[in-house]
């Protein structure tokens, strides 16, 4: 472990630290940004007596952050910040998160914990495929790797042939990226006759997109690695909010830095552990943009707050199922793209490239799943359609395409296409 004492704290001590840091966070907001303080109800820090009192404060949303672009909710003057990162969303006003030097240090600390949880040490060579720029991914991995002592290959995104070359040339042992990028690596490797068995690669850390257990098994099988699911977002300070450990029994969230709530997406009611709902995060150590009850729109649940087999005591979340705004509704049936992925990836003939095409024709809902497959036959098509119907109670047309017929994207995979 990177910080054994902090990663194995007793539950009582974790909650004591959370309460103390929650009060400090509210005090910072009060002292640094009156508008923000009034927005959360002007609570006096000393009036917060327990973690239950957090529920008395209002939620913060992405729209709140956008409406206050760029630094309307920032806690400090611009001269106190050393830089900013922003959300990678493609629509609307971006969300900007300013960092103090302490924020950068905190980010490196939690990222080092994440890398260590995945088994990285100073002996590892880490190839970083997310970008280094306005979006935060590459920097977070870099800072964590420096603290762990890894040798860093800071290649950034794209250039897949060069990525494969570097895997061999620099004897890369671990690679990080968005969850769909290993699929591109696998595809190009097959085209080029590249064999992952001839590399030193043993670990993959992927995130930024929802990916199913079936997709995970495919990646691990094809690349010969152990994979880890890492979560985080610009709003909470970047990648590193949590990661699954080598026990692979949920995603540890670093509770000395964050408070987790799961709420009903419709009512906002806090749900008990084990019930699925929307993830809400309160940051406890961020200075530039502290967040109180931020609604992430991610759907998950708390699996356990007990000590994990790995020895860590920080709570574990289920892997992200989807986002509230990713949910699709067809003929009154609601489902997430990940549920379709879980079905189709069970079939070895199916390739990991698919799209869900959804829209209306003459006022009626129409949905089609387009899949690449090595075998084009009616039997496979009908089997997949029947399993989707069994899962969702919805008849969905499946169209089989040949390898390479679905457009590729070096960035996040486009899984849903909508038309009107």
User: How many domains, the chain?
Assistant: 2
Give residue 8's Cα distance to chain centre: 23
- DSSP assignment of 259-300 equals EEEEE-TTT-PBPPTT--EEEEEEESS-SSS--SSEEEEEEE
- Is residue 162 within 8 Å of 188, Cβ to Cβ? no
Q: 198 in helix, strand or coil?
A: helix
| Residue 262 sits in the same domain as residue 115 | yes
Tally Cβ neighbours within 10 Å of residue 59. Answer: 15
| Residue 415 sits in the same domain as residue 295 | no
| Residue 239 sits in the same domain as residue 163 | yes
CATH number of 126's domain? 3.40.50.12780
pLDDT, tens digit only, all 420 positions of the chain:
899 999 999 999 999 999 999 999 999 999 999 999 999 999 999 999 999 999 999 999 999 999 999 999 999 999 999 999 998 655 578 999 999 999 999 999 999 999 999 999 999 999 999 999 888 889 999 999 999 999 999 999 999 999 999 999 999 999 999 999 999 999 999 999 999 999 999 999 999 999 999 999 999 999 999 999 999 999 999 999 999 999 999 999 999 999 999 999 999 999 999 999 999 999 999 999 999 999 999 999 999 999 999 999 999 999 999 988 888 988 888 898 999 999 999 999 999 999 999 998 877 888 999 999 998 889 999 999 999 999 999 999 999 999 999 988 767 888 999 887
Which of 325, 346, 361 delimits the end of a domain?
A: 325
Please tell me the distance from the alpha carbon of residue 133 to that of residue 93, in angstroms, as a whole number: 18
What does pTM read for this prediction?
0.90
121, HSE (Cβ side, Cα atoms, 13 Å): 3
| Residue 138 sits in the same domain as residue 214 | yes
Q: 47 in helix, strand or coil?
A: helix
| Residue 177 sits in the same domain as residue 299 | yes
Tally Cβ neighbours within 10 Å of residue 366. Answer: 15
CATH number of 343's domain? 3.30.300.30
| Residue 305 sits in the same domain as residue 414 | no
Torsional sign, CA 386, 392, 397, 399: negative
Instruction: Give the domain range for residue 408.
Output: 328-419
Q: Residue 360: which H helix or E strand, with range? A: strand 350-361
Which of 325, 350, 381 delimits the end of a domain?
A: 325
| Residue 165 sits in the same domain as residue 309 | yes
């Amino acid at each position: 472990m990177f910080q054994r004492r902090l990663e194995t704290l007793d539950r009582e001590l974790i909650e004591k630290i959370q309460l103390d840091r929650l009060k400090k966070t509210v005090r910072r907001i009060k002292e640094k940004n009156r508008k923000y303080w009034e927005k959360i109800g002007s609570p006096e820090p000393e009036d917060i007596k327990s973690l239950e009192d957090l529920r008395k404060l209002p939620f913060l949303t992405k729209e709140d952050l956008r409406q206050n672009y760029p630094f309307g909710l920032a806690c400090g003057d611009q001269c106190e910040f050393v830089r900013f990162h922003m959300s990678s969303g493609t629509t609307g006003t971006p969300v900007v998160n300013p960092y103090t030097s302490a924020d950068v240090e905190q980010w490196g600390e939690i990222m080092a914990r994440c890398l260590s949880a995945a088994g990285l040490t100073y002996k590892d060579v880490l190839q970083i495929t997310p970008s280094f720029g306005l979006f935060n991914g590459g920097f977070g991995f870099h800072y964590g790797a420096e603290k762990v002592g890894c040798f860093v290959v800071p290649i950034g995104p794209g250039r897949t042939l060069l990525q494969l070359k570097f895997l061999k040339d620099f004897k890369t042992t671990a690679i990080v990226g968005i969850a769909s990028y290993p699929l591109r690596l696998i595809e190009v490797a097959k085209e080029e006759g590249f064999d992952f068995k001839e590399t030193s690669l043993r670990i993959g850390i992927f995130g930024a997109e929802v990916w199913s257990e079936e997709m995970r098994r495919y990646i691990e099988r094809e690349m010969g690695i152990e994979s880890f699911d890492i979560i985080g977002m610009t709003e909470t300070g970047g990648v590193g909010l949590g990661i699954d450990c080598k026990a692979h029994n949920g995603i540890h969230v670093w509770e000395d830095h964050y408070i987790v709530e799961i709420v009903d997406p419709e009512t906002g009611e806090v749900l008990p552990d084990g019930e699925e709902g929307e993830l809400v995060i309160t940051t406890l150590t961020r200075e530039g943009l502290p967040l109180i009850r931020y609604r992430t729109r991610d759907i998950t649940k708390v699996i356990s707050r007990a000590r994990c087999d790995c020895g860590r005591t920080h709570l574990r979340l289920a892997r992200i199922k989807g986002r509230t705004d990713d949910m699709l509704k067809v003929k009154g049936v609601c489902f997430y793209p990940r549920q379709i992925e879980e079905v189709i990836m069970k079939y070895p003939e199916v390739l990991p490239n698919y799209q869900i095409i959804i829209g209306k024709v003459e006022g009626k809902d129409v949905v089609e799943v387009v899949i690449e497959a090595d075998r084009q036959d009616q039997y496979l098509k009908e089997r997949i359609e029947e399993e989707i119907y069994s899962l969702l109670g919805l008849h969905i047309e499946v169209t089989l395409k040949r390898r390479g017929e679905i457009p590729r994207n070096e960035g996040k995979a486009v899984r849903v296409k909508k038309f009107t």
